[in-house]
A and B are shown apart, each in its own frame.
Chain A
Amino acid sequence: MTATQEPAAQQEIGRDRRRKEDQRLITGRTRWTDNITLPGMLHLAMVRSPFPHARITNIDTAAAKAATNVVAVYTGADLGEGQGACINAWPVVTDQVTPAHLPMPIDRVAFAGETVAVVVARSAAAARDAAELVEVDYEELPAALDLKEAAAAHENGGAIAHPDLGTNVSAVWRFDSAEAGTGGDVEQAIAEARENGIVIEREYRQQRLIPAFMEPRSTVVDPTGEQITVWSATQVPHILRFAMAATTGVPESKIRVIAPDVGGGFGGKLQQTPEEMITFAVARRLGKPVKFTETRSESLLTAHHGRDQWQRLTLAATKEGRVTGLKVDLLADLGAYVAIVGGGVPVLGAFMFNAIYKFPAYQFQTTNVLTNKTWTDAYRGAGRPEATFAIERLMDELANELGKDPLEVRELNWITHEEFPFTTVAGLEYDSGNYEAATARAKEMFGYDALRAEQAERRARGDKVQLGLGVSTFTEMCGLAPSRVLGSLNYGAGGWEHAEVRMLATGKVEVVTGASAHGQGHETAFSQIAADRLGVPFEDVEVLHGDTQISHKGLDTYGSRSLVVGGEALVRALDKVIDKARPVAAHLLEAAADDLEFSGGRFTVKGTDQGMAIQEIATAVFAAHNLPDGMEPSLDSEATYDPVNFNYPHGTHLCAVEVDTETGQVKLRKYVCCDDIGVVINPLIVAGQVHGGLVQGIAQALWEEAVYDENGTLVTGSFVDYLLPTAADTISFEIDHTTSPSTTNSLGTKGVGEAGTIASTPAVVNAVVDALRPYGVHDVAMPCTPERVWRAINEGSPGGETTEAAMPHFDETEGGVQ
């Protein structure tokens, strides 16, 4: 078999298959972790710190222990080292400052929401009731809350998140193209531009976001078998098993982790959480099955947050608008602990600020800072949305400075399609792409020229509703990741993926993948791939995943890797099955193996009508009555694939907004995108990924922000104040694709899970700023609230950080009787 798809009677790849998994996922009649109930199972409730930084001086658990149906109450001191630890898998520098992270601290809390005691009871209600009886005495400590202040605290005596460490700076990671030999000297480029060119200097805020997956996290641990079984709502069952084993001393072979159906993650379930470790520890201590399911409030408060950066940016260009250098200086808020990827998130952005443009010189630095807030880690795009936002905003600023159309300035600087493969100033080799084609198509769909004309007309008329057009010509690196690259970055694991194919006696096929779906549609897409490759019906393929005893090898799902890495592993395993079947077919058909061709699921003898279906061969191999001499009676095959490169989806996103200049309200008018994600396996799944991704990115631009007050309390602690959009807040998107197949995997696919989120945020903000250019506005802080937009128009203020309290909507004390 060659690596490309052959025309089949009913080609599955490219087909709009409705998802196999939707019936059970949408109705909820399935194995969500919280649906799992075991005989004699106990329930946990966490007692959490209300203070962002405090010494625990006493914990009185007597009343809670005495409560009805309470089995035990444990503090950090009770569980001690036996609880294991939460690991950081990516120390980005060798001298990274990494606070020890006990799942339940013994003497000091470092963020509001940290667990200080756990109640074990016979029902969830009894556990929750008793948790209120645990008396904890705290001695408050100064809290490091503001990112900029925290970054300088070691110099000016400010609050230190972990006083023993003496600094809040966890790491300073740097890339310089002159030092790396991938480009020139950025300081020189900037100096030259100051003399005789254009320098754009900006500071942008990437506000803190909350992943807000649909299913709150839940963990069930059953210690009663030979292996300890852990069910958890996680994206990363394999990584979780490794981390549990590595930090508790329980042999990896004695732990089975199952991620049953998981209701979303967006990176938010790419974690080894304190709650998982506490549940594991309690189950082992009591020898009984236990369950912990968090509330939505706990989820918003303690599940890791995302983004949270300050970005200082300097872009140098010639007077004609050709970019000559880019300097990026980030402050990244890690929160209270360095999470599993943690400080690696800004580093993932390091290779993307230069984006699709031919910068001759580039420098990136991130200062990763600890604060007394909820920890941060991967959130849909992880480092790349931040980078894309910065560069796409800067390109619009450059266009404005030049008085040119923003697309024209981009075209002047982007890599042309003839130039692929192209090695960027950040050292990556982009394998394929066609920015011209995607942009031309997006412009056509958008009606770009007509909208520009309408904008001019509204401006001339002084319309109270102004039109703004925003551009984002993004690319991203996805398909994490070549193991050698990860090694060079000091990441603690590889980036390969594993797949197995089992040919059952009845002709059905089991596909096992190490990727761990949590809503993406792997079961459908992987079935399509296997059906095409083997020539078996789509319905006959069963996809198994998310259980470390079934899918014993894998690196799970994140970074748009499942299809481009896991899919390639699957293709290779499928090809091995065909290779194994060929000599059996030859033997049974009494032909030479070289005379056989495989197509549409059948081996046929060339030039004859003699043939055998792959299912018949599977049955024959099962019986093993008549196999070639010495042949092992099995077609089952496996493959582990380590990618040779990332891959690089790209696209042109165009957004039109209407800004009500009287109120500052921003209304989406039109959004089109043309994404190049290579070969599409299932257009319906892709459309879903793009739509959802767009909304998540638009939400960063307009609505979402995790806000802490000066006491370190999360003000946006419920969906009353953390503004998650619904369908009512969005418009119909128009999406299309150009296709430049990836050259580094057999199917020519590229990742799509994060593309919409990465691309859309700057498109929207660029549109808002574009609408306000006549008012002298050059920035509006995210989220672009109506108030911020209104103040930008009237006061020229871009709007700073939000620190206000939330408006109460529920009576916490007495008040109205009804």
Chain B
Amino acid sequence: MIPAAFEYVAPTSVEEALAALAEHGDDAKIIAGGQSLLPVLRMRLNAPEWVIDLGRIDSLRGVRDEGDHLVIGAMTTHHDVGQDPLVHEHALLISKAITHLADAQVRHRGTFGGALAHADPAGDLGAPARALGATFVAQGPGGSREISAEDFFVDLFETALSDDEILTAVKVPKYDGWGATYEKFVRIAHQWPIVAVAATVRMDGDTIAEARIGLTNMGSTPLRAQAAEQALVGQPATEEGVAAAAALAAEGTNPPSDLNGDADYRRHLATVLTRRAVLSAAGRG
């Protein structure tokens, strides 16, 4: 498990990192927390000539309140995001998803932005990001631009980031008072999810006023279950009230078939997990 030799640079500012990226281009890989890249290097599935480490850029770390939304620095570790009181108060769904993300060791090394930019459809953060309508801030040679969650995830391991851009932060609108649940279905604890459902719900008394649902591993990118979301509006938060809407959760999805389940089984799981996630988010689970 020895990676092929590579050159290593650890800039201390985004500008320096962008310069290194511009210089080495296709021969470079950016390393954030390294929880996905290092296994790839060690198994020699990839052998970049340069590795650009963002770990020393302090400005990429931390969570801050910007009025109607939070800004989560791309290099903030999962652990720090998960423990952050602002995230807990305004974007509970992210806190909930992080408790299910990998294990404690990975959560202390892996980063919020690194995992999202890796764009594994089975990663645990894409579905919450989509459900919450997060905005991705990318910085490139020409400055900074914002990409919606819908546009950010392009395909398996592919994002809207250009080769010369770095993801610097993720903006998350505030969902104060919304309930949230991340229902993750695995065979063993440290496994990637076979399917997971990220649901956050605003209640009006006993009725669901609004629901936002993200799906993990139900296609080549994290998805939103919009048909189910719409059908939930105005429903009572009861088993019966939610079940019919949840049955729409797999609409328009194209889940993979692999060792852990065929596509039809995953579609079925998505409906069951959506029902459970919504009921739980509504405080009825």
A residues near B, CB below 8 A? 124-125, 128-129, 132, 295-297, 662-663, 665, 702-703, 707, 715-716, 718, 720-721, 723-726, 728-729, 785-787, 790-791, 802, 804-818
Contacts and interface: CB of A to CB of B under 8 A. Distances in A.
Given A786-B261, A816-B159, A817-B166, 15 more contacts: A124-B2, A297-B1, A663-B273, A703-B187, A703-B188, A785-B261, A787-B261, A787-B265, A807-B259, A808-B156, A812-B46, A813-B46, A814-B158, A815-B156, A818-B32
Interface stretch (B79-87, B113-121, B199-207, B225-233): B113-121
A787 B258 CA distance: 11
Interface in B109-129: 113-114, 117-120, 122
A816 B30 CA distance: 9
A245 B159 CA distance: 58
Contacts of B261: 785-787
A296 to B, nearest CB: 7
Contacts of A811: 36, 40, 45-46, 118, 157
Interface string B183-225: 0010111111010000000000000000000000100000000
Contacts of B114: 818
B62 to A, nearest CB: 18
With most chain B CB atoms within 10 A of its CB, the pick from A129, A297, A721, A807 is: A807
Nearest to A699: B188
B27 interface: no
A295 B158 contact: no
B65 interface: no
A129 B165 CA distance: 31
Nearest to B158: A815
B187 A807 contact: no
B259 A802 contact: yes
With most chain A CB atoms within 10 A of its CB, the pick from B36, B158, B187, B269 is: B187
With most chain A CB atoms within 10 A of its CB, the pick from B54, B114, B157, B262 is: B157
30 contacts: A124-B2, A125-B2, A129-B5, A662-B272, A663-B185, A663-B272, A703-B187, A716-B259, A720-B191, A720-B192, A724-B188, A785-B260, A785-B261, A786-B187, A787-B262, A802-B259, A804-B258, A805-B259, A807-B192, A808-B156, A809-B36, A810-B36, A810-B39, A810-B45, A811-B40, A811-B46, A816-B161, A817-B161, A818-B114, A818-B117
With most chain A CB atoms within 10 A of its CB, the pick from B120, B161, B188, B191 is: B188
With most chain B CB atoms within 10 A of its CB, the pick from A726, A787, A808, A818 is: A818
A715 B258 CA distance: 10
B9 interface: no
A810 B163 contact: no
A787 B264 CA distance: 10
A277 B46 CA distance: 31
With most chain A CB atoms within 10 A of its CB, the pick from B37, B256, B258, B262 is: B258
Contacts of B163: 817
A807 B117 contact: no
Contacts of B185: 663, 665, 786
B268 interface: yes
A809 B165 CA distance: 23
A703 B45 CA distance: 26
Contact of A707 (B39, B191, B259): B259
Given A729-B189, A817-B163, A809 B122 contact: yes
B274 to A, nearest CB: 12
B44 interface: yes
Interface string B4-39: 110000000000000000000000011110001101
A128 B119 contact: no
B213 to A, nearest CB: 18
A812 B161 contact: no
A570 B150 CA distance: 71
Contact of A297 (B43, B119, B272): B43
Nearest to A807: B258
A811 B74 CA distance: 20
B187 A785 contact: yes
Given A785-B260, A787-B261, A815-B157, A809 B120 contact: yes
Contacts of B265: 787, 790-791
A543 B1 CA distance: 35
Contacts, number: 127
Interface in B222-248: none
Contacts of A812: 40, 45-46
Contact of A818 (B30, B44, B191, B269): B30
B137 interface: no
B5 A818 contact: no
A270 B245 CA distance: 56
A784 to B, nearest CB: 10
A811 B158 CA distance: 9
A608 to B, nearest CB: 66
With most chain B CB atoms within 10 A of its CB, the pick from A707, A718, A816 is: A816
Nearest to A723: B188
B59 interface: no
Nearest to A805: B258
Nearest to A815: B157
A722 to B, nearest CB: 10
A730 to B, nearest CB: 10
B167 interface: yes
Given A804-B258, A815-B119, A726 B187 contact: no
B117 A816 contact: yes
Given A132-B44, A723-B191, A818-B114, A807 B161 contact: no
With most chain B CB atoms within 10 A of its CB, the pick from A296, A728, A813, A815 is: A815
A63 to B, nearest CB: 15
B122 A816 contact: no
B144 interface: no
Contacts of B1: 295-297
A726 B167 contact: no
Contacts of B192: 720, 807, 809
A125 B4 CA distance: 8
Contacts of A815: 118-119, 156-158
A721 B259 contact: yes
B259 A728 contact: no
A679 B74 CA distance: 60
A787 B44 CA distance: 32
**6 residue pairs, one from A and one from B, having the closest CB atoms:** A815-B157, A818-B117, A728-B189, A811-B157, A807-B258, A787-B261
A643 to B, nearest CB: 39
B262 A818 contact: no
Given A723-B187, A726-B190, A810 B32 contact: no
A128 B151 CA distance: 40
Contacts of A725: 188
Contacts of A726: 188-190
A720 B188 CA distance: 10
Nearest to B42: A295
Contacts of B45: 810-812
A810 B31 CA distance: 14
Interface in B41-79: 43-46, 54, 74
Nearest to A724: B188
A809 B185 CA distance: 16
Nearest to B167: A818
A129 B4 contact: yes
A703 B259 CA distance: 11
A295 B44 CA distance: 12
Contacts of B37: 818
A817 B117 contact: yes
A817 B29 CA distance: 6
